[in-house]
């Protein structure tokens, strides 16, 4: 929970501090985000989470921007001293190890997960392909979920189609291709997840690509 939230808020801090347009857009969303947080904190499913995990989650929210600022300061200090930043050096070494591969599959649990988790690696890799597992359309007769409504979708919208288009656009900006399976994500599934079907479909995808390396980034 800690690293999950710390990574999210560190990324948001970077966007806010490096792109004024993103900062203004996010500031306009603050009231809506606060309403969603209050609503989620009042839900029974959240209250059922152990208190120590909730504390770790809140600490992650706070620590993320601090970690980003500390990293940015260290990198700037290294550059002013004429040294290659340590973080850039480590990433460069990782990318060198990946660049020689014919194709690099990045397995993403949900749409957006891979792009948010490791966009730097995707952009620097040779011939990457982002493959999302749970990207199928919700049943046609299923009402729009509260989460989808909170995200701005209206009745009749094909939510997953729009999200797949967003994924394709994001991947293309990172010089990657995007593919996906049609498994339904939680909230859309009418029953239990068929783990065997998911594993078999993923195995076929990996076998078709026949890569030397497969990345499984932490999903957001």
pLDDT (tens digit per residue) in 75-131 = 777 677 766 555 555 555 555 656 555 688 999 988 988 888 888 788 888 889 999
pLDDT of residue 163: 92
Write the DSSP symbol of residue 193.
-
Distance separating alpha carbons of residues 136 and 187, to the nearest angstrom: 12
Distance separating alpha carbons of residues 77 and 209, to the nearest angstrom: 42
Tell whether the torsion through CA atoms of 163, 164, 166 and 171 is positive or negative: positive
pLDDT of residue 200: 94
pLDDT of residue 220: 45
Report residues of the chain scoring pLDDT below 70: 1, 40-49, 78, 82-102, 218-220
pLDDT of residue 92: 56
Residue 120 near residue 172, CB atoms below 8 Å: no
Domain boundaries, the chain: 2-83, 87-209
Q: State the DSSP string of 139-176.
A: PTTSPPPHHHHHTT--TT--HHHHHHHHHHHHHHHTT-
Inter-CA distances, 97 with 34, 81, 88, 103, 211, Å: 42, 27, 14, 12, 13
Tell whether the torsion through CA atoms of 147, 148, 152 and 156 is positive or negative: negative
**For residue 54, which phi and psi values (nearest 5 degrees)?**
-65, -35
pLDDT of residue 56: 82
pLDDT of residue 86: 55
Q: Which of 51, 171, 62, 45 is nearest to 114 (CA)?
A: 171
- Tracing tokens 């992650």 back to the chain, one arrives at 60
CATH class of the domain at 87-209: alpha beta
Distance separating alpha carbons of residues 112 and 205, to the nearest angstrom: 19
Take residue 215 and report the two structure tokens written for it.
């990345």
Distance separating alpha carbons of residues 68 and 92, to the nearest angstrom: 19
The model's pTM? 0.63
């Amino acid at each position: 929970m800690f690293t999950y939230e710390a990574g999210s808020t560190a990324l948001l801090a970077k966007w806010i501090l490096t792109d004024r347009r993103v900062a203004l857009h996010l500031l306009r969303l603050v009231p809506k985000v606060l309403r969603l947080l209050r609503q989620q904190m009042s839900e029974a499913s959240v209250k059922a989470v152990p208190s120590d995990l909730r504390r770790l989650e809140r600490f992650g929210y706070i620590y993320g921007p601090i970690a980003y600022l500390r990293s940015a300061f260290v990198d700037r200090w290294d550059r002013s001293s004429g040294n290659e930043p340590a973080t850039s050096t480590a990433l460069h070494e990782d990318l060198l190890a990946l660049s020689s591969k014919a194709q690099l599959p990045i397995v993403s649990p949900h749409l957006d997960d891979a792009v948010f988790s490791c966009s730097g690696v995707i952009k620097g890799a040779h011939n990457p392909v982002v493959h999302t597992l749970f990207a199928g359309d919700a049943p046609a007769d299923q009402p729009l979920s509260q989460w989808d409504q909170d995200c701005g979708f209206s009745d009749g919208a094909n939510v997953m189609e729009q999200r797949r288009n967003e994924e394709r656009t994001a991947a293309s900006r990172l010089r990657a291709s995007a593919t996906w399976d049609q498994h339904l994500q939680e909230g859309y599934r009418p029953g239990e997840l068929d783990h065997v079907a998911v594993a078999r479909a993923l195995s076929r995808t990996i076998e078709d690509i026949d890569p030397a390396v497969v990345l499984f980034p932490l999903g957001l």
